[in-house]
Every structure is written in C-alpha cells, then in structure tokens.
Amino acid sequence: MPFGTLYLIPVPLAEQAAAKSFTPYLVDTINQVKEYIVENEKTARRFLKEAGLKTPQSELIIHDYGKHNRDIPINEFFKGLVAGKDVGLMSEAGCPGVADPGSEIVAEAHKRGIKVVPLVGPSSILLAVMASGFNGQSFTFHGYLPIDKVERSKKIKELEASAQKNKQTQLFIETPFRNNPMLEEILRSCAPKTRLCIACDLTAADELVQTKTIAEWKQKVPDLHKRPAIFLLFCS
C-alpha cells in the first residue's frame, strides 16, 4: 500500500486573522484530511473550525507534538501515513517546520520516503522581510538570541557587523514578554545610523511594521511587551 501524504498547513499568526491566512486549496485539503500532527491541539482545533472544516472534530485523530509530548516515540506519528492516510502538520502559529519543532516530523517523513506538500500561508519571517525595505535577496534568520545580557549584546553587535559587511538583512526574535529588554539592548548596542525594522503583531488589527534608524527609534520607543515581534537589522 502506498504511503499517505504529509501536508504542511500554515496557521494564522494572530487572532481573527484566519480570512487573511488560508486559500481555497487549504480549505479543500483540511476537508479531506482526517488526521493531524500539531504543536498545540487547542490552537489547531480553533483554526480548523475558522477555516471551514466540515468534518466533525470528534472524528479527527490529532497527535500533539508540543513541548510536553516530546517523549512520544516518533513512530506513533507515522502510523497513519504508513497505512496510506494523508496527514496534516500544523505549528502553533505560522508555517510548520520554520522556527518550529515540526521540522523533525518533516525530516523523518523524507527519511521514510513519504511525500511532503507545503501549503501557502503566513510566515512572519517573510512578511517581515517584505515589509522592512531591507535586502530581500540575502537575509538570515537567527531565531532567539542569548538570554545573558553580555552575550546578547555581543551577538547583536556581531549581527550589525554582518549586516554592514555583507549587506545582508539580519532577523531575530524574542519571547514576547522579553521584547522590551531586547529592544533596549538593540538601541544601546547598535550605531545611530543602523536601521532597525520592528514587525509586530503581523496580520493582526493592531499590526505595527516600521523601519527607522537607531537614532530615530530612540526618540520614541514603542512598548512591545507581550506582543509577538520580529526584529530586523540592516546597514546601507
């Protein structure tokens, strides 16, 4: 029996942004898939409902691979696929496999010869690059920077130097409740003419995307506490 297909299904980045986040093909896909591997079951079920799922949710098989379930043997996630059933993979927000532990599921699918199909949907990284005005031909996403203040400052200066030398956009994130200390460190560590884009609450009603020099940001520092954000550095 041939294997099923693993569909990578993007999830909205913000509440009440579902209509901005899915295509007719995605809706068709979720209505023919009955099994899912998800990072957060509550988020996944809410999105499926918003996206127009017609199948009763009680009929779905949902495997949770979130941080509290990492000890589950990976074979458990693949029983349906091996049996020929199509399965959807969902992150808690955004694209599965991008800054997301679902990449381990995708890697295992390739090892097993299972077809992987990524669907179109919101990626905070690409949306931020698009809206920044920075180099979209060459950019690097670094994920989370060190928590230690000294190491974090050192890393920010390294990213600024790389942006200057290579004319390459540098992207990174922080846990939302630590955004304000991160922004303070960026403003303290970088040169006045270095440009910083803050992309915050992407696709939400209160979305903020602004690019300014470090000197300009210092004149009016935004409050980013508990707001999902991406920081981008560039030197032109």
- The pLDDT, as a whole number, for residue 214 is 98
Q: What are phi and psi of 144, to 5 degrees?
A: -85, 140
Q: In angstroms, rounded to a whole number, what is the distance separating the alpha carbons of residues 23 and 139?
A: 27
CATH number of 5-118: 3.40.1010.10
- The pLDDT, as a whole number, for residue 75 is 87
The residue among 50, 73, 17, 62 whose CA lies nearest residue 207 is 17
- DSSP for residue 145: P
* Mean pLDDT per 10-residue segment, the chain (236 residues): 93 86 91 94 90 92 78 86 96 91 94 96 95 97 95 97 96 96 97 98 95 97 96 95
124-234 folds as 3.30.950
As to burial, measured by CB atoms within 10 angstroms (0-12 exposed, 13-18 middle, 19+ buried), residue 62 is middle
- The pLDDT, as a whole number, for residue 154 is 97
Listed by start position, the domains of the chain span 5-118, 124-234
Please report, for residues 7, 22, 54, 79, the alpha-carbon distance to residue 43 in angstroms, rounded to integers and kept in the order given.
17, 15, 17, 23
Rounded to two decimals, what is the model's pTM? Answer: 0.90
Q: In angstroms, rounded to a whole number, what is the distance separating the alpha carbons of residues 97 and 105?
A: 8
- The pLDDT, as a whole number, for residue 84 is 96
